[in-house]
Amino acid sequence: MQSALFIGRFQPFHKGHLDAIKTILKDNKRVIIAIGSAEKNFLNSNPLTASERFQLIDEALREAKIPSERFCIIPIRNVNNYALWVNHINIYVPPYTKLYTGSKLVKACYTGKYDKKNHGPEVIHLIREVPISASEVREAIHLDSNWESLVPPAVAKLLKEWGIPSRLEIIKDTMDITKYNNAY
């Protein structure tokens, strides 16, 4: 089965992520959705737990009527060494033939890992057709500014049920020590 890999933090999952997954599924039988930095949570830039992100993605894809056999979601703890990062990802995910990303860093990691003798997945530049960022969503939640329009309805419902707007307000001024301490 031809599978593609899509890696993100999904803090939170938004309409841009959903659009990217739909695009990936046009050319692939299945998408492996890797939740990166799974260990990070309750921080201003990473407010959601891996479990919460998993549930948001699962609910949004079900709401979009994407059959469960067309996707798998895998939380992956970060490794703070980019030379090892691709190997680390490959330990956790099933085989894939394509990698979709818009990240220059992810492209660099894959280019550095695979050469002409050691063929890796095809790296496909993902163009944002729905230009939304999770930072934008978090900021809109902080400002109570129509953030629900940036995320799928199922995501908005769960974020409200879980009290995420309140969580973001509480943690907004906390320092993210992971920015300054890679040993975390």
User: What's residue 98's pLDDT?
Assistant: 96
User: What's residue 38's pLDDT?
Assistant: 95
User: What's residue 168's pLDDT?
Assistant: 94
User: What's residue 96's pLDDT?
Assistant: 96
Separation CA 44–CA 48 (nearest Å): 9
Q: What is the pLDDT of residues 60-109, one digit of tens each?
A: 999 999 999 999 999 999 998 988 999 999 999 999 999 999 899 999 99
Length, in residues, of the chain: 184
pLDDT class of 174 with cuts at 50, 70, 90 = confident
**98 and 28 Cβ atoms separated by less than 8 Å:** yes
Q: Could you give the count of Cα atoms lying within 13 Å of 142 in the half-sphere of its Cβ?
A: 14
In the chain, where the domains are located: 3-179
> If you search the block for the tokens 């260990």, which residue do you land on?
39
Structure tokens given for 152: 């799928």
Q: What is the pLDDT of residues 125-158, one digit of tens each?
A: 998 899 999 999 999 999 989 999 999 999 999 9
10: left (phi over 0), alpha (psi -120 to 50) or beta: left
Separation CA 102–CA 62 (nearest Å): 24
Burial bucket for residue 11 (CB in 10 Å: 0-12, 13-18, 19+):
buried
User: What's residue 159's pLDDT?
Assistant: 97
Structure tokens given for 37: 């930095």
User: What's residue 119's pLDDT?
Assistant: 82
User: What's residue 163's pLDDT?
Assistant: 96
User: What's residue 183's pLDDT?
Assistant: 42
pLDDT class of 184 with cuts at 50, 70, 90 = very low
User: What's residue 178's pLDDT?
Assistant: 52
Domain spanning 3-179: CATH 3.40.50.620:
yes
Separation CA 142–CA 168 (nearest Å): 7
Q: What is the pLDDT of residues 6-60, one digit of tens each?
A: 999 999 999 999 999 999 999 999 999 999 999 999 999 999 999 999 999 999 9
Amino acid at 97: T
Considering only CA atoms, give the Rg of the chain.
Answer: 16
Q: Are strands 30-35 and 3-8 parallel, antiparallel or unpaired?
A: parallel
Q: At what angle do helices 82-92 and 104-113 cross, to 10 degrees?
A: 80
Rounded to an integer, the average pLDDT of 111-133 is 85
Q: Helix (H, G, I), strand (E, B), or coil: what is residue 75?
A: strand
Separation CA 72–CA 50 (nearest Å): 14
Separation CA 98–CA 101 (nearest Å): 10
